[in-house]
Amino acid sequence: MSLFEENSLTPWQEGPFAHLSQQLAQDQLPHSILVLGEDGVGRDDFCQFVAQWMLCNAPDKGQGYCGQCKSCQLFEAGTHPDYHLLQIEEGKTQIAISQVRELIEHMQESAHQAGWKLANITDIHALNASSFNALLKTLEEPQENTLLLLQAEQLQGVPATIKSRAQILKVGVTNTSMTREWLKQRHDFFDEEMETALQLFPTAPYKVEAFVENGEAFKSGEFIFDYADVITATQPPMDIAQRWQEELENCVFWCQLMFHDVLLLQQGGKENDIQLQKQHKALAEIASTVNAKGVTLLLNKIIEIQRLIKLKSPANLMASWQSFLIYSAQIAIKYKKLES
């Protein structure tokens, strides 16, 4: 269940929202806000919440939107004429300049509901140079009663021209106890599996929840033992590639965790020191088969695949995944760990 469906804010979103609410009440709300928050904190849901609240005909004293008025109904139906969502189109890797021009035209029109006009750009890093330049004029010369919500995971990489013209608003979790209490309230319990996921994603509550609800703890264990079989030449790489192709993106993430733990074990770390403690046997097997240089090469390769995934639609992703598993088997031979 998403925050947006609940018509409520999470504990770590309440502070940023209260700040915006106060600014609006004091007529000090800026025309553009750069919302920073890593994946897993509900950054997009937060921006949707703010947008619907701003457009609502009867907001609840700055606490949220009513969900009943005509404006809320239009918003929830995805047909609100004063709201423009700008995101990467399917099959593309960047936000095109034509999309930005359409947004600019939308923001220059008069509001249909005689209130605010809002635009929500879900990933500011997806704008190319031309798109940035096109957006700049809107940031420099905003219309009255307009608000641009610009989303990013981190400030690094956001052009200085954007940062200097937008208020920065951080949405994030400051401590794991906040996430733990939130999960307890949502599920009426907090078990060992949740604790494991919390150690993996200490600042990303929704990732913790998804990890548990999607059975990723069990699946990640299965995959890591299969991967260990590739390293020890017990199973063919292509068989493993085929078996896990539907979970490819998850496997890439699990590989990153796995290699970090393997390197930690090779440096003298104990079972209690690693993140994937339930997979200690498979990790120890990998650590004793491939030397540190080989593991580092594998980690670098998986980071390259992670970059492909972040491009949204890499045509050669499956081929890269297959090549990685074949490469893993080759590394296990070339960088075989010598018995001490």
pLDDT tens sequence across 73-82 = 999 999 999 9
Q: How confident is the model at residue 4 (pLDDT cuts 50, 70, 90)?
A: very low
The pLDDT, as a whole number, for residue 328 is 97
Cβ atoms of residues 207 and 40 within 8 Å: yes
CB atoms within 10 A of CB 112: 12
Task: Answer for the pair 138, 161: CB distance below 8 angstroms, yes or no.
Answer: no
Say what the alpha-carbon torsion angle 286, 287, 288, 292 is, to the nearest 10 degrees.
120
Quote the CA–CA distance of 193 and 214 in Å, as a whole number. Answer: 12
Asked if residue 120 lies in contact with residue 149, where contact means CB atoms within 8 angstroms, the answer is yes
pLDDT above 70: percentage of residues in the chain: 95
- Report pLDDT digits (tens) over 8-46: 899 999 999 999 999 998 999 999 999 999 989 999 999
Rounded Cα distance, 300 and 18, in Å: 42
Provide the whole-model pTM.
0.77
Cα 336 to Cα 57: distance, rounded to the nearest angstrom: 67
Calpha distance 112→119 (Å, rounded) = 14
Q: What is the share, in percent, of the chain residues with pLDDT greater than 90?
A: 51
Nearest Cα to Cα of residue 83 among 132, 140, 121: 121
Mean pLDDT for the chain? 88
Could you tell me the domains of the chain?
Answer: 3-170 (3.40.50.300), 215-334 (1.20.272)
Mean pLDDT for the stretch of residues 130-134:
87
Residues 233 and 239: their CA atoms lie apart, in Å, by 12
100 C-beta neighbours (distance < 10 Å), count:
23
pLDDT band, very low/low/confident/very high, at 116 (cuts 50, 70, 90): very high
Give residue 311's pLDDT: 65
Phi, then psi, of 123 in degrees rounded to 5 = -150, 95
pLDDT interval class at 277 (50, 70, 90):
confident
- Of the ranges 163-167, 311-315, 330-334, which one carries the lowest mean pLDDT score? 311-315
275 CB-contact burial (10 Å; exposed 0-12 / middle 13-18 / buried 19+): middle
Q: What is the average pLDDT across 277-282?
A: 89
Q: How many CA atoms lie within 13 A of 299 on its CB side?
A: 17
